[in-house]
Amino acid sequence: MTNAIDARLAELGLTLPDAPAPAANYVPYVLSGNLVFVSGQISMNADGLITGKLGAGLSVEEGAAAARACALSLLAQVKAACGGDLSRLKRVVKLTGFVNSTDDFTDQPKVINGASDTLVEILGDAGRHSRSAVSAAALPLGVAVEIEGIFEIA
């Protein structure tokens, strides 16, 4: 059966990737009560890792696209945490976004908007969340963006 979130993803022409496996000694998510804490999801798409540094070769638009990919991976992890049933997702509580950027780059919020806007586009008001958007001198594997999230489920 298709739920409203799956239907909205299809309407937008988006598909969730398989929930990425952890690359080290950690778990992809932790369930605590009605909250799902999702580990940082790095920017990747069907073509592979989205790498680069904002302010040195990557545009804000390219960074926002990388953040959008992270948002889809976050939702994939929530779906896995919910046993494949995204209809259990009640709301996005908080995102913390890390942007691989130069010392003088100051548009981290515009980059992480790629994830925030995507979640609101998919989930409506349930996608609105608190957020932090910070710079990082480097991220794992040279990726452009990494985002972790907290989600409320039923």
Looking at the structure of the chain, the number of domains it has is: 1
Read off the CATH number of the domain in which 59 is found: 3.30.1330.40
Q: Which domain holds residue 13?
A: 4-21+28-153
**Tens digits of pLDDT across the chain (154 residues):** 458 999 999 999 999 999 988 889 999 999 999 999 999 999 999 999 999 999 999 999 999 999 999 999 999 999 999 999 999 999 999 999 999 999 999 999 999 999 999 999 999 999 999 999 999 999 999 999 999 999 999 9
* Cα separation, 43 vs 9, whole angstroms: 19
CA angle at 15 for the pair 11 and 16, rounded to the nearest 5°: 135
pTM: 0.96
